[in-house]
Structure 1
Amino acid sequence: MSHVPQVKIPATYMRGGTSKGVFFRLDDLPQVAQTPGAARDALLLRVIGSPDPYGKQIDGMGGGVSSNSKSVILSRSTQPDHDVDYLFGQVSIDKPFVDWSGNCGNLTAAVGAFAISAGLVDAERIPQNGTAIVRIWQVNIQKTIIAHIPITDGAVQETGDFELDGVTFPAAEVQVEFMDPADDSGGSMFPTGNLVDDLEVPGIGTLKATMINAGIPTVFVNADDIGYTGTELQDDINGDPKALAMFETLRVHGAVRMGLVQSVEEAGQRQHTPKIAFVAPPRDYVASSGKKVAAGDVDLLVRALSMGKLHHAMMGTAAVAIGTAAAIPGTLVNQAAGGGDRTSVHFGHPSGTLRVGAEATLEGGEWKVVKAVMSRSARVLMEGWVRVPGDAF
C-alpha cells in the first residue's frame, strides 16, 4: 500500500498579545490553497490539528484552546496606502470548520513584525532605529489597523520590559490603533439601534444587553443578571457544562437579534462571532496568576467567552468593543464603569488588567468612533516549515 508523503510549507509560529498562531505568506502556500475555499480550510485544519475529538490538537500546532487555534495569511496589500493585507482564520478545535467572520486583535500585534521581517513592507518605510508605522488592511472586517513596531539596528525589536497580564515574560511594546472600528456596512455600530436592549432568551428570561459591532460583534450582559460577580476565573465557568450551555444560548440569540445570522442554528455554526461577555462594577479579586487586583485598580470587571469557553485573559478585538462601549454613555459597559464621559477604560479580566482607549462622538444621531488604541507585545517563537500529509488538502 502506497502512502502520500508529507509536504512542507514555510511558516512562522508567533505569539501576539495573549494568543499564538501560525503565520504564512500567501505566496508560500500550495497553489491550491492560495485562494479561499475548501482546500485552504482543509490545509489550515490539518496544520493546527483539527478537528480533534479529544480537544487537545496533539497532531498539530494548536494548543487545545481558542487562543492558540489560529492561523494568519499575509501578503503585500492590494489597497492604496496600506502595506500588508491580513487575513485571519479562527480554527475550530473539535469541528472541521475555519471561521473567517472576524479579526484577532491579539495576533494583530504580531502582523506588523512579521510583515517587516518577511519583506512585505517597503524598505524605505523602515527606520534604522525608532518606530516603523505598518499600515494593515484587515481583510476579514475590511478595516485599517496601524501598528507601531519598534526597530533597532534595522530589525524588529522583540525584547523589552513591557508587561502584559496574561503573558508570562516581558517584551517590546507594540501600540495598535484600530481605525474606525465600528462595522459601518450595515449602518449603526449598534445593530438594533439601541444602546441597551431587552434580550429575550428562551429558558433563561429577558436580560438587559448591549449589542455592539466594534472591533468584533459582542453581546454584553450584566454579571449580576446571570448569577455572577465578574471576578470569575476559567475554572469557575469552563468546568460547568450548564454554564457553558447558558452562555452559548445567550450568544446565539444575541447573534440573531444583531442581524448577524438568520437563525440560532446558523449562529451555532459561526463560533468566532459574536462574542458573549459579562460586566460588573469593580471589586477585589485574585487573578489566575495569583496577582491581587484591587477594586481601586480598575474601572470595571469584564469576562468574555471565545469559541465556547471563558477566555484566560481578553481577546484584543473584544477589548476594542469594551473600550468603544465604555466611551458611550448609557451602555452596560459604561454603566458598570460608573457612567459619564471617558476616553479610556482600565478593566479587570481573569489574568489581570488592561487599558484601552477610544473616543466616541455623536454625529447626526449616530455614535462614531475614530479609533481605539491599546498596547500589546509580540514575539517569534519558531520559524521554518510546517509539515502536513500531502493528501490532507
Structure 2
Amino acid sequence: MTQTRIPAVFMRGGTSKALVLKRADLPKDETLWPQIFAAMLGSPDPNLRQLNGMGGGISSLSKICVIGPATRDDADIDYTFAQVGVVDDTVDFSGNCGNMSSAMGPFAYDEGLVDGPRDGEAVVRIHNTNSGKVIVARFPVAQGEAAVTGEVEIPGVTGTGAPVALDFLDPGNTFGRGTLPSGAGSDVLVLADGRQVQVTMIDAAVPAVFVSAADVGGDTGAHPAAIDADAALMARLEEIRQLASVRMGLTDSPQAAAKRIATPKVAMVGPPAAYADLTGATHAAEAQDLQIRMISAGQAHRAVPVTGALALSCAAVVEGSVVAACLAPGADPLALRIGTPSGIVGTGALRDPASGTITAARILRTQRRLMEGRVLVPAPATLSPTETA
C-alpha cells in the first residue's frame, strides 16, 4: 500500500502533545480530514497504545492542530484543533485545546507565518476556529526562533521552559448559547438511578459541566488511574456529561452527546485538601483554593486541560455556582490555585462588575518543538497523494 507524506511538526504545548499541520498541506475537502487524522495517530486502538501511529494512548497525546492564514482582521493566524479518539476513530472538532494553544504562536513564528522581532517578545493573535474566539499569545524569541529554555515550571512537565502567556479574550459563549446556557449559576440534573445532582454548566473557553465530587461518590484527591478504574463513577460522570450536553443545547439527545467526545467536558470539584500528586509530592490544603479531577475524551486527565482550567476559573466568579461553593475563604479569582493530579495550576478570570461579563481568562504555559519532517499516512482510495512512499 502506498503512503502519503504530509509535512508535520510534532510539538508539546503545556501538558499535551500534537502533530501540527499546515492547512495548505491537507486536502481542501475537510470531510477527508478525520480519516487522515485517525490514521496519523494510529486510531482506533482497543489496546490503548496507538502503536501504529503518532498517538500516545491517552487523550492528551491524541491531538491534531491545523494552522492556516487568518480569516478575520483581528487575528494573525487561524488554528483548528481536532481531538482524536484512542479506542475508536472519532475525530471531534467541537472544542479547543488550551494546552496546544500555547504552541501555536511559536509554531507560526518559527515557520515565518507571522511577523515579529528577531529578539525580544513576539505577540501572535490566534483565531481558534473551533470556538470562534481569539487568543493572544506572548512569548520570548531569540535569534529569530521562539525560545524554549526558561525558568517556568508547570505541573505535569519535567523541567522548566520559556513562558507563553495566553490571554483568552471574551472567553464566554463559544457556541452561541450564552456563557450560562441555562441562565443559572447552578442546576439540578436527575440521573437514571433517581440521584439528583447539582451542577454548574458553563461555556467559557470550552463548554463544561462541574459537579461536587461528594455528590457523585468521587474524590478530588484520587489518582487518575483509580478514577478510570471506578466503572460506576465513570458511568455516572458520563451520564452527567450527556445530560448537560442536551440541557446546554449542544446536542439534541444523550445518544448524540455520547458521540461528541470533546465537549462538554465534565469535572468533579471539591474544597482544598492535602493530597499527593503523580510524582508523590504532597500538597497542603493551604496551598490550594480548590481541587479538580476532569474527564477528557473518556479518560481522567493526568493534569487539567487548559480550557477546562479556564472554564473552572470563569465558573468560580459566577455567584451560586458549584465551583464558587468549593473555594477556600479569601481565594483570589485572578490567581486561583487549582489542585490537579500533577500539582498546583494557577489561572484566573476577570469579570466586569457592571455587566457581569467575563472579559478575559489567563494562564501561563511552556512549549517545545520536538520533531519536524513528514508524517506518513496509508493512502486510502479517496486521496490523491502528490507524493507517495
Calculate the TM-score normalised by the size of structure 2: 0.95
SS in structure 2 opposite 1:162? coil
Asked if 1:118 is matched to 2:107, the reply is: no
| Partner of residue 9 from structure 2, selected from 12, 18, 24 | 12
Q: What do the CA deviations read for 1:108-161 (whole angstroms, capped 9, x no partner)?
A: 000001011112103xxx112211000000001100000002111221101112
2 CA distance for matches of 1:257 and 1:206? 15
1 CA distance for matches of 2:2 and 2:111? 28
**Matched residue type, 1:133:** V
**Matched residue type, 2:70:** S
Task: Measure how far apart 1:14 and its partner are.
Answer: 0.4
Asked if 1:297 is matched to 2:297, the reply is: no
2 CA distance for matches of 1:81 and 1:186? 19
Q: What do the CA deviations read for 1:81-100 (whole angstroms, capped 9, x no partner)?
A: 31110000101112222100
Look up the match of 1:224.
Answer: 214
1 CA distance for matches of 2:232 and 2:315? 28
| Partner of residue 35 from structure 1, selected from 23, 29, 39 | 29
Look up the match of 2:38.
Answer: 45
> Unpaired runs of 5+ in structure 2?
384-389
Q: Across the two proteins, how many residue pairs are aligned to each other?
A: 381
2 CA distance for matches of 1:73 and 1:266? 25
Q: How does 1:1-393 map to 2 (within 5 A)?
A: 4-29=1-26, 33-37=27-31, 39-122=32-115, 126-183=116-173, 185-203=175-193, 205-338=195-328, 342-363=333-354, 367-391=356-380, 393=383
8 A contact 2:273–2:284 mirrored in 1 = yes
8 A contact 1:146–1:177 mirrored in 2 = yes
8 A contact 1:330–1:339 mirrored in 2 = no
Q: What do the CA deviations read for 1:264-309 (whole angstroms, capped 9, x no partner)?
A: 0000000100011111111100001111111000101111000111
SS in structure 1 opposite 2:112? coil
Say if 1:195 and 1:36 are closer, same or farther in 2 by CA, change over 3 A.
same
Task: Measure how far apart 1:199 and its partner are.
Answer: 1.2
* CA root-mean-square deviation: 1.5
Task: Measure how far apart 1:371 and its partner are.
Answer: 0.6
Q: What do the CA deviations read for 1:222-271 (whole angstroms, capped 9, x no partner)?
A: 11111223111112111222222121111111111111111000000001
Q: What do the CA deviations read for 1:169-192 (whole angstroms, capped 9, x no partner)?
A: 211111000000001653431100
Identity of aligned residues (%): 39
8 A contact 2:177–2:249 mirrored in 1 = no
2 CA distance for matches of 1:192 and 1:34? 37
Q: What do the CA deviations read for 1:41-80 (whole angstroms, capped 9, x no partner)?
A: 1111100111112221110000110000000000121211
8 A contact 1:137–1:144 mirrored in 2 = yes
Look up the match of 2:387.
Answer: none
SS in structure 2 opposite 1:169? coil
Bigger shift: residues 73-82 or 305-314? 73-82
Bigger shift: residues 67-76 or 229-238? 229-238
1 CA distance for matches of 2:242 and 2:109? 39
